A and B are shown apart, each in its own frame.
Chain A
Amino acid sequence: MSLMSPGVGLPSHAVADSAHLEPSLAGVDDFIALMKPRVMSLVVFTAFVGLLVAPGHLHPVLGVGALICIAVGAGAAGALNMWYDADIDALMARTARRPIPAGRVTRGEALGFGITLAFGSVVVLGLVANWIAAGLLAFTIFFYAVIYTMWLKRRTPQNIVIGGAAGAFPPMIGWAAATGGTGLEAVFLFLIIFLWTPPHFWALALCRAGDYERAGVPMLPVVAGTRETVRQIRLYAIALLPVAIAPWLIGSAGPLYGATAAGAGAALLVLAWRVTGGGREAKALFGYSILYLFVLFAVLLIDHALFGSLAAGAQAVG
């Protein structure tokens, strides 16, 4: 597919090369929607936790500036994803009302918006925090927009496994913003989100398999079937449990976090074992997985505030 080829099923306004001659139909809310605000909220939260539990110190004003840059960078990745995927978004019920397939925003507007935000967020993060964090943010945007969206998504059922790395970087970026580097704890925060992504996304894919099949996206339920998807959901849920507990096991998080990670992980396993197809159980797993990640990172933050264990652990490691 050509990068600028008109998409199948898109309104002519959204794909016309001469669209720049037309008055824009886009509202402010459309540009906000391009940034995928719900995804952005989880990105900002995990980056916030990474920034706060890191052993370094960042002035609160610079911390807020860094978080805004990470949020805008995530929004840029979302806009570039919607620019490239507008053709298949138009074919799926879940995404058909997005600004481009709905005809309110042209592809050119989304591309310009995404590139501008990406460039601005990376440069400002470099100036506000440091260039390690800025480099990680640039790599994350590149990974999501190019590696996942353009390369993997339409080619392999492992798309969201590898692409999940893009969603796993934000706590590392927050950590790097505070410390100027990375650490073992930051790697574990990365791994938690990386291993969390497949059960989270495949639970959704089980419910939306028809959509993905219609759009020609080789999601695991479409390519390998429900049984294999459920098997892999369970395998990743099993792998996630020890990794989520690991910060406590290596002494860089306290018992409150350890107990929460064990309990929440066990609940995730139970829900994963209940899934048999794209029914209510899969929806329950999808909904719980969002809560799981939020609770895990929130408790890590509370644990750190109570015991300051990550800082102590990191200093011992360093």
Chain B
Amino acid sequence: MGDRRDGDQGDKGGIVLTEEQKRRRRARSIAIALVLGALVLLFYAITIVRLGPNVLTRPL
């Protein structure tokens, strides 16, 4: 990673991300969050549809 900048963390031997790497990581994080949110909605809708009226017929 020739374009990696050495900052405070770099001096301590850690990996310091470039601005571009930070931007891409942020974009990936947002995309994962959106996909997870969409999956939650999808699974909820599918569960309701598959249960149908049975959701009301349960032993008390």
Residues of B within 8 A of A (CB): 1, 4, 15, 17, 21, 24-25, 27-28, 31, 42, 45-46, 49-50
Contacts and interface: CB of A to CB of B under 8 A. Distances in A.
Interface in A40-75: 59, 61-62, 65, 68
A67 to B, nearest CB: 11
16 contacts: A22-B1, A23-B15, A23-B17, A24-B25, A24-B28, A25-B21, A26-B24, A26-B28, A27-B24, A27-B27, A28-B24, A31-B28, A59-B49, A61-B46, A65-B45, A65-B46
Contacts of B31: 28, 31
Contact of B46 (A24, A27, A62): A62
A18 to B, nearest CB: 12
Interface of A: 22-28, 31, 59, 61-62, 65, 68, 127-128
Contacts of A23: 1, 4, 15, 17, 21, 25
A68 B42 contact: yes
B28 A61 contact: no
A265 to B, nearest CB: 39
A23 B24 CA distance: 10
A23 to B, nearest CB: 5
B49 A62 contact: yes
A210 B42 CA distance: 46
Nearest to B29: A28
A178 B16 CA distance: 51
B49 A61 contact: yes
A61 B45 CA distance: 7
A65 B42 contact: yes
B52 to A, nearest CB: 9
Given A23-B15, A28-B28, 5 more contacts: A24-B21, A24-B28, A28-B24, A61-B45, A128-B46
A28 B27 contact: yes
B24 A62 contact: no
A62 B42 CA distance: 9
Interface centre among B24, B25, B31 (most CB of A within 10 A): B24
A246 B31 CA distance: 44
